[in-house]
Amino acid sequence: MAPKSLLFFFSTLILLLPVSLQSYKPSAAHTELTEYGFPIGLLPSSVRSYSINKTSGDFHVDLGGSCKITLPPDNYLATYSKRITGKIVSGRIAELDGIRVRALFKWWSITGIRSTGEDLVFEVGMVTAKYPSKNFDETPACEGKHSAS
Ligand SMILES: *[C@@H]1O[C@H](CO)[C@@H](O)[C@H](O)[C@H]1NC(C)=O
């Protein structure tokens, strides 16, 4: 490459770099989630802060505000409260509070989530629903004007 085109190459790279960094920036909470065997797509991008007790697994996640998301692949409408709480150990989230899903004309609280690696098993009380984990590989953005991401 001639020096001039090399310069062009690098200045293009520098211009593009911040954009690509912005488009993929999982929060510490998202990274933490993967360390417990869960995909980042379980949490919206609007995470403000979180805390976890590594001994008991008790955690809370604070979002910028309540949040509405359409979940793949069946387009269930889900809502996230401003604060999500629960208990997490490897492959299992229990005592979950703050995530609700609309199905069969009702709102259901998701009480727990298990991860087998391949699949996620959502628990709604005694009822479970299984989905491939790869459907949750991307962090969803909150929908609507209250998203406050
Ligand atoms: C974390 O959990 C353990 C076990 O339940 C408890 O003894 C400890 O006080 C907790 N730590 C904090 C900072 O809450």
pLDDT at residue 19 is higher than 50:
no
Tell me, in angstroms, the distance from the centre of ligand 1 to residue 12's CA: 50
- Sign of the C-alpha dihedral computed for residues 99, 137, 67 and 48 taken in this order: positive
Task: Look at residue 98 in the predicted model and tell me its pLDDT.
Answer: 98
For the CA of 53, the nearest atom of ligand 1: 1
* Ligand 1 environment, Cβ below 6 A: 53, 55-56
Task: Compute the C-alpha angle 23/132/56, nearest 5°.
Answer: 80
Tell me, in angstroms, the distance from the centre of ligand 1 to residue 29's CA: 19
Task: Look at residue 2 in the predicted model and tell me its pLDDT.
Answer: 59
Nearest alpha-carbon partner for 62 in 40, 84, 29, 44: 84
Instruction: Give the residue-averaged pLDDT of 25-47.
Output: 92
27-136: CATH topology is: at5g01610, DUF538 DOMAIN (2.30.240)
- pLDDT grade for 10, boundaries at 50, 70 and 90: low
- In angstroms, the CA 38 to CA 31 distance is 9
Task: Look at residue 21 in the predicted model and tell me its pLDDT.
Answer: 43
Task: Look at residue 74 in the predicted model and tell me its pLDDT.
Answer: 78
pLDDT at residue 149 is higher than 50:
no
For the CA of 54, the nearest atom of ligand 1: 1
pLDDT one-digit tens code per residue, 53-112: 999 999 999 999 999 998 877 788 999 999 999 999 999 999 999 999 998 889 999 999
Tell me, in angstroms, the distance from the centre of ligand 1 to residue 56's CA: 6
pTM tops 0.95, yes or no: no
What percent of the chain shows pLDDT beyond 70? Answer: 80
Q: Which of 52, 53, 60 to mutate to test the pocket of ligand 1 (most atoms within 8 A of CB)?
A: 53
Question: Atom 5 in ligand 1: which residue has the minimum CA distance?
Answer: 56
Terminal-residue alpha carbon distance, the chain: 42
Question: Atom 12 in ligand 1: which residue has the minimum CA distance?
Answer: 53
What percent of the chain shows pLDDT beyond 90? Answer: 65
